[in-house]
């Protein structure tokens, strides 16, 4: 049961592979009509299935069919993409799942991720950078476009922003993204920003003024990956989406994309440099320490204030509870010298704050008391979880008699079902 109202956008004479993709990618999410999946990023999945619990796409599609096309609960980006890939292949369209690490979500289409913070480091902006985001590529011709734009087409069934009044994104030629041709259908500016946006950070002062405190041209679009053909190895396809950072081709692409706000790299070091590091004996699932290292790069004495804190964060950049905080009213830095502030992360605190994504974001905000200049550093810790160790005292027996079976589940407590022989994770 496919909703065919998208044909209105294309016209009866241009029905082709890309139009089919528009139809069923639009149908994967339930944001508009009777789609297959309901998206849920709230952390509460009590009336459905946790997105991380799905093992395959077919069970989702069967459940949707048995429920008379009532949307299945719940999915997030990797689930939407996996279902879209399965449906594509079932229809005979070659398809693969793609993961973009450091994926930008540009809400105002200016090809910039603008982060605004108040003087207490509270995030005020709508733009975000997801730790990762997943979409699909489909291999097809594009008779509606000029030659050279056939081949892999990027499409995103995850409901993020509306395109042509419906929640779907693409298909857009991957080649067009690499060449910065943002006039190509469909949604080229949004996909281009996902892999190429620059980051600019501002502090919003009490009088309403915005003070630029930093940014990055390399944070977005890292290690774009897919599964290698014939193996379970990761294949890096970043080069298909963008030219090497800093290359002549990359600069030409940004000019072509009319990216007038691209950051100008400053060869000189900032007056004060802030960097976050972890203690060498850090072990996840236990107490550990993080350090904000501050360096005065000038010949003048610096009197600064520092706020160093930790917050739970989801993979799509949504900040949660604060789980660690250090405030220093004053840091005196002699010329060309440095200092260090310590933040202790207690498992009794961050263990209750982290979500199913098991991520913590560390941030240090430093302000020069005299010049009112701000400096900021961040670091995201991923896969925060308990350390598991086992110790067995067993007699020496032949290998075929020494097979053990283990079952792992989320959270404490006994397993609900009997684990059959084998290795289950």
Q: What angle do CA 62, 64, 70 make, to 5 degrees?
A: 165
Domain 272-381 has CATH 2.60.40.10: yes
The tokens of 369 are what? 């008391």
Catalytic residue annotation: 77, 133, 156
Query: Which residue is associated with the tokens 């081949």?
Result: 151
**Pairwise CA distance, residues 214 & 114, whole Å:** 11
Which residues 6+ apart lie within 8 Å of 245 measured at CB?
Answer: 217, 218
Of 291, 416, 412, 302, whose CA–CA distance to 362 is shortest? 291
φ/ψ bin of 164: left (φ > 0), alpha (ψ from -120 to 50), beta (otherwise) = left
Q: Kindly give the pairing relationship between strand 112-117 and strand 198-204.
A: parallel
Q: What residue spans in the chain does CATH classification 3.90.260.10 cover?
A: 7-256
- Looking at the chain, the domain(s) classified CATH 2.60.40.10 span 272-381
Helix segments in 172-311, DSSP class H: 174-179, 188-196, 238-241, 248-256
The CATH number, out of the four listed (1.10.3450.40, 3.90.260.10, 3.40.50.720, 3.90.650.10), of the domain defined by the range 7-256: 3.90.260.10
> Are the C-beta atoms of 372 and 211 separated by less than 8 Å?
yes
The C-alpha atoms of residue 423 and residue 407 are separated, in whole angstroms, by: 7
Q: What is the pLDDT, as a whole number, of residue 230?
A: 92
CB-facing half-sphere around the CA of 210: CA atoms within 13 A: 11
Task: Count the alpha carbons within 13 Å of 277 in the hemisphere toward its beta carbon.
Answer: 10
Reading the chain (425 residues) residue by residue, the pLDDT tens digits are: 444 434 444 444 444 555 565 666 668 877 656 789 999 998 899 999 999 999 999 999 999 999 998 999 999 999 999 999 999 999 899 999 999 999 998 877 778 888 888 877 777 777 788 999 999 999 999 988 999 999 999 999 888 765 454 557 879 999 999 999 988 888 898 899 999 888 888 888 878 788 888 788 888 999 999 999 999 999 999 999 999 877 888 777 867 775 433 444 444 567 888 999 988 767 667 888 999 999 999 999 999 999 999 999 988 888 888 999 988 768 889 999 998 899 999 988 998 898 888 889 999 999 888 888 888 888 888 765 555 555 555 566 665 566 665 555 555 555 555 555 444 33
3-state DSSP assignment of residue 272: strand
Q: What is the pLDDT of residue 291?
A: 92
Q: What is the pTM of this model?
A: 0.74
For residues 268 and 251, what is the distance between their CA atoms, to the nearest angstrom? 21
């Amino acid at each position: 049961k496919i909703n065919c109202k998208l044909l209105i956008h294309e016209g009866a004479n241009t029905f082709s592979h890309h139009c089919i993709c528009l139809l069923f990618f639009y149908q994967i999410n339930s944001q508009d009509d009777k789609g297959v999946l309901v998206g849920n990023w709230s952390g509460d999945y009590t009336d459905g299935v946790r997105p991380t619990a799905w093992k395959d796409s077919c069970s989702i599609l069967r459940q949707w069919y048995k429920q008379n096309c009532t949307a299945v609960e719940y999915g997030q980006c990797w689930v939407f993409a996996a279902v879209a890939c399965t449906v594509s292949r079932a229809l005979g369209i070659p398809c693969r799942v793609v993961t973009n690490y450091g994926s930008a979500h540009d809400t105002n289409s200016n090809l910039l991720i603008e982060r605004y913070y108040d003087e207490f480091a509270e995030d005020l902006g709508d733009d975000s950078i997801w730790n990762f985001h997943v979409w699909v590529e489909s291999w097809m011709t594009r008779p509606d476009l000029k030659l050279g734009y056939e081949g892999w087409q990027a499409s995103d069934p995850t409901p993020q922003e509306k395109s042509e009044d419906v929640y779907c994104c693409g298909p857009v030629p991957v080649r067009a993204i690499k060449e910065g041709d943002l006039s190509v259908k469909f949604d080229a500016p949004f996909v281009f920003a996902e892999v190429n946006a620059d980051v600019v950070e501002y502090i919003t002062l009490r009088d309403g003024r915005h003070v630029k405190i930093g940014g990055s041209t390399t944070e977005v679009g890292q290690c774009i990956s897919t599964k290698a053909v014939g193996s379970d190895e990761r294949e890096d396809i970043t080069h298909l989406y963008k030219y090497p950072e800093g290359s002549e081709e990359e600069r030409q692409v940004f000019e072509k994309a009319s990216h007038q706000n691209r950051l100008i790299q400053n060869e000189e070091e900032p007056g004060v440099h802030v960097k976050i590091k972890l203690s060498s004996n850090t072990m996840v699932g236990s107490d550990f320490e993080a350090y904000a290292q501050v360096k005065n790069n000038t010949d003048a004495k610096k009197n600064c204030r520092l706020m160093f804190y930790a917050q739970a964060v989801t993979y799509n950049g949504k900040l949660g509870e604060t789980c660690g905080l250090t405030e220093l009213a004053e840091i005196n830095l002699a010329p060309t010298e440095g200092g260090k502030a310590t933040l202790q992360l207690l498992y009794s605190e961050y263990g209750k704050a982290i979500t199913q994504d098991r991520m913590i974001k560390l941030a240090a905000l430093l302000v020069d008391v005299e010049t009112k200049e701000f400096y900021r550093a961040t670091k995201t810790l991923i896969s925060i979880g308990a350390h598991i160790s086992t110790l067995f005292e067993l007699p020496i027996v032949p290998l075929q008699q020494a097979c053990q079976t283990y079952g792992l589940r989320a959270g404490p407590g006994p397993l609900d079902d009997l684990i059959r022989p084998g290795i289950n994770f």
